[in-house]
């Protein structure tokens, strides 16, 4: 019974350790999240800066997996290029080593005090920043409490010899390497797998030799790509290409380091001489491996990117028009609203461009009576409906995070924009149906009527494209032009209706097409109104009240 208790103590310690790492990392991400997108986009344009930012960011949030998944998300949303992303991930591998360095410090006895301080801040302080700091401290305390429990269980069961025997069973370099990869794939965290190994070898005592785990540590570093690989399954081709390049770079790092070990057998002894503490030796090995890898791979990033592009070439058209999200990665863990909203905006811009393209196609159907184009309109409508639904579902998930007032306003604004775009797409479908009705009724419109419609359809297309551009750029300078076009379309509705009545009285137009003509004019005017809603919703977040009231009065006038 006592032995079973010790086993449970060991398992409980491992569980607390893993939970502590995840809890602390989540708190750090939330605390830094509002600034992460800006930092990644603005400070990683140069290769050297990208490596440093990747290292610092991972050191801050304590998770290379989270950093890499975040970067893949940016590539997925086309906010970051492939080469830029690879440099950031090089730095992330260095940044993740700080966790093992912290674990090597013997501060487990202070874990209860750390837990108490973190809980007080997290539970009883209302200030948001203090609560986030408390969450980080609480996770930190849980991490070291887990280490303490694991160490106690190892001592009570006298597992030092068992651990050494276990490590010796993996003395074969290939077997040891594969164990490290698989263990990290299961744990889903390189920091956690290396940390558990540190605790185990600390229990083995002075008889431990670093050479027995060096290949295992290399395997754990390669296994660190597991979260990235999983998150890329539902991502677009650019994100999958970045994942492939990262896997190649990890494998290349391991091969390079193995070559160094084989060429200089005393290299491991040199690392052992950096500290008598087995846990610190592993931490130093982990750090040195990733620093050497970054130095060696730094000039090879662009060739690796080209290799991945050749293995996985672009297929932009097929993916762009498919009923799937290509900028939003649904499998990626949602941590901060600001990062998620950056991807959503990209997806909505794509959604808008598909809507306006289908709108133009529907208008073409009306003027050219092309049956093949009709089918394309209705097929694309299915994709548009799918995207509208999925974007709204994702925004509901984002709104469940801790969001600022500005982020909440942005979520509401994007929902409004998506709704108006979907309605424009519905009008496009109606226009295609009008074309079918004209054909079925064998009705016709006069050339004057078609010429008038051409003027209004051109203005409607211009209006929709401009308002999508306003949403994409958030540039208020285009708002006056949008108001002017919207007013013109309102005037055209009255003018075209008057012209149509005159033609009917003069028996110039076929009465069978008369109702469809006026319905089409009405559809075009409504599309213009929805487009104007898109433009106005963008500036609802930042524009002064006076500006918004001016915009509203102009739109009504």
Q: Residue range 215-229: average pLDDT?
A: 88
Q: What is the pLDDT of residue 426?
A: 92
Least trusted range by pLDDT, from 9-13, 176-180, 329-333, 525-529: 329-333
Nearest to 180 by CA among 172, 537, 541: 172
* Residue 346 reports pLDDT greater than 70: yes
Upper half-sphere CA count for residue 442 (Cβ side, 13 Å) = 0
* Residue 557 reports pLDDT greater than 70: no
CB atoms within 10 A of CB 552: 11
Query: What does 365-433 look like in DSSP terms, one character per residue?
Result: HHHH--HHHHHHHHHHHHHHHHHHHHHHHHHHHHHTS---HHHHHHHHHHHHHHHHHHHHHHHHHHHHH
* Residue 469 reports pLDDT greater than 80: yes
Band of pLDDT at residue 546, cut at 50, 70 and 90: very low
Distance CA 527, CA 420 (A): 9
Band of pLDDT at residue 539, cut at 50, 70 and 90: low
* Residue 240 reports pLDDT greater than 70: yes
Average pLDDT, the chain: 82
Q: Residue range 307-331: average pLDDT?
A: 78
Q: Give 427-454 pLDDT, tens digit per residue.
A: 998 888 888 887 787 777 788 888 888 9
Band of pLDDT at residue 1, cut at 50, 70 and 90: low
| Placement of tokens 């799937």 in the chain | 324
Distance CA 557, CA 551 (A): 10
Nearest to 383 by CA among 325, 323, 423, 327: 323
**CB contact at 8 A, 361 and 373:** yes
Q: What is the pLDDT of residue 205?
A: 62
Residue 351 CA: distances (Å) to CA of 33, 86, 390, 422, 471: 26, 28, 11, 9, 12
Task: List the end-to-end C-alpha distance of the chain, in Å, as a whole number.
Answer: 83
Name all contacts of 162-168 with Cβ < 8 Å and 24+ positions apart: 163/200, 163/201, 163/203, 163/204, 164/204, 164/207, 164/208, 164/212, 167/201, 167/204, 167/208, 167/212, 167/213, 167/216, 168/212
Residues in the chain: 557
Q: Give 190-204 pLDDT, tens digit per residue.
A: 888 888 888 888 766
Q: Residue range 504-514: average pLDDT?
A: 74
Q: Residue range 150-159: average pLDDT?
A: 74
What are phi and psi for residue 446, nearest 5 degrees? -70, 165
Q: What is the pLDDT of residue 543?
A: 44
Q: In what helix (H) or strand (E) does residue 12 lie, and over which residues does it extend?
A: helix 2-43
* Residue 169 reports pLDDT greater than 50: yes
Distance CA 362, CA 365 (A): 5
> How far is residue 435 CA from its own chain's centroid?
41
Q: What is the pLDDT of residue 34?
A: 53
Structure tokens at 119: 């809980």
Taking each helix axis from N to C end, the angle separating 479-505 and 447-473, rounded to the nearest 10 degrees, works out to 160
Question: 3-state DSSP helix/strand/coil percent for the chain, to nearest 5?
Answer: 85, 0, 15
Q: What is the pLDDT of residue 331?
A: 66
Q: What is the pLDDT of residue 355?
A: 93
Q: What is the pLDDT of residue 32?
A: 59
| pTM for this entry | 0.64
Query: 3-class DSSP state for residue 215?
Result: helix
Cα angle vertex 377, ends 374, 383, to 5°?
150
Band of pLDDT at residue 30, cut at 50, 70 and 90: low
Query: What does 45-65 look like in DSSP terms, one character per residue?
Result: SSHHHHHHHHHHHHHHHT-HH
Q: Give 61-87 pLDDT, tens digit per residue.
A: 767 777 787 787 777 766 778 888 899
CB atoms within 10 A of CB 178: 17
């Amino acid at each position: 019974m006592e032995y079973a208790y010790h086993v449970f103590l060991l398992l409980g310690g491992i569980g607390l350790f893993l939970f502590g790492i995840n809890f602390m990392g989540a708190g750090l991400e939330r605390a830094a999240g509002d600034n992460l997108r800006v930092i990644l986009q603005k400070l990683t344009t140069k290769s050297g800066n990208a490596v440093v930012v990747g290292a610092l960011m991972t050191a801050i949030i304590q998770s290379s997996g989270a950093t890499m998944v975040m970067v893949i998300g940016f590539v997925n949303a086309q906010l970051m290029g492939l080469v830029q992303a690879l440099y950031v991930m090089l730095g992330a591998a260095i940044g993740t080593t700080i966790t093992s360095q912290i674990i090597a410090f013997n501060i487990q006895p202070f874990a209860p005090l750390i837990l108490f301080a973190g809980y007080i801040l997290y539970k009883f302080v209302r200030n948001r920043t203090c609560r986030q700091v408390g969450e980080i401290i609480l996770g930190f305390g849980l991490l070291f409490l887990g280490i303490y429990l694991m160490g106690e269980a190892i001592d009570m069961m006298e597992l030092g010899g068992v651990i050494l025997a276990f490590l010796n069973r993996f003395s074969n370099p290939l077997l040891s390497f594969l164990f490290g990869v698989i263990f990290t794939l299961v744990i889903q965290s390189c920091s956690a797998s290396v940390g558990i190994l540190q605790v185990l070898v600390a229990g083995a005592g002075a008889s431990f030799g670093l050479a027995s785990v060096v290949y295992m540590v290399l395997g754990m570093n390669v296994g660190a790509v597991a979260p990235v690989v999983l998150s890329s399954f539902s991502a677009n081709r650019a994100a999958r290409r970045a994942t492939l390049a990262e896997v190649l770079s990890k494998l290349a790092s391991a091969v390079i380091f193995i070559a160094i070990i084989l060429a200089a057998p005393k290299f491991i002894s040199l690392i052992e001489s950096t500290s008598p503490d087995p846990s610190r030796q592993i931490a130093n090995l982990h750090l040195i491996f990733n620093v050497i890898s970054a130095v060696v791979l730094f000039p090879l990033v662009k060739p690796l990117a080209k290799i991945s592009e050749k293995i996985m070439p672009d297929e932009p058209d097929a993916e762009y028009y498919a009923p799937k999200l290509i900028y939003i990665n649904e499998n990626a863990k949602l941590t901060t609203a600001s990062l998620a909203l950056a991807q959503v905006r990209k997806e909505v811009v794509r959604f808008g461009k598909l809507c306006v393209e289908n709108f133009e196609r529907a208008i073409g159907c009306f003027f050219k009576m092309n049956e093949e184009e009709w089918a394309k309109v209705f097929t694309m409508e299915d994709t548009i409906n799918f995207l509208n639904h999925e974007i709204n579902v994702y925004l509901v998930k984002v709104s469940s995070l801790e969001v600022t007032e500005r982020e909440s306003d942005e979520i509401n604004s994007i929902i409004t924009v998506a709704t108006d775009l979907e309605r424009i797409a519905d009008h496009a479908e109606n226009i295609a149906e009008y074309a079918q009705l004209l054909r079925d009724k064998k009705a016709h419109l006069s050339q004057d009527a078609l010429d008038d419609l051409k003027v209004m359809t051109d203005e409607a297309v211009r209006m929709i494209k401009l308002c999508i551009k306003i949403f994409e750029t958030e540039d208020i300078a285009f708002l006056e032009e949008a108001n002017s076009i919207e007013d013109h379309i309102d005037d055209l509705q009255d003018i075209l209706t008057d012209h149509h009545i005159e033609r009917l009285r003069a028996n110039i137009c076929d009465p069978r097409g008369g109702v469809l003509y006026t319905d089409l004019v009405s559809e075009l005017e409504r599309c213009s109104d929805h487009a104007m809603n898109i433009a106005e919703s963008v500036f609802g977040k930042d524009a002064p009240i006076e500006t918004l009231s001016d915009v509203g009065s102009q739109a009504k006038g």
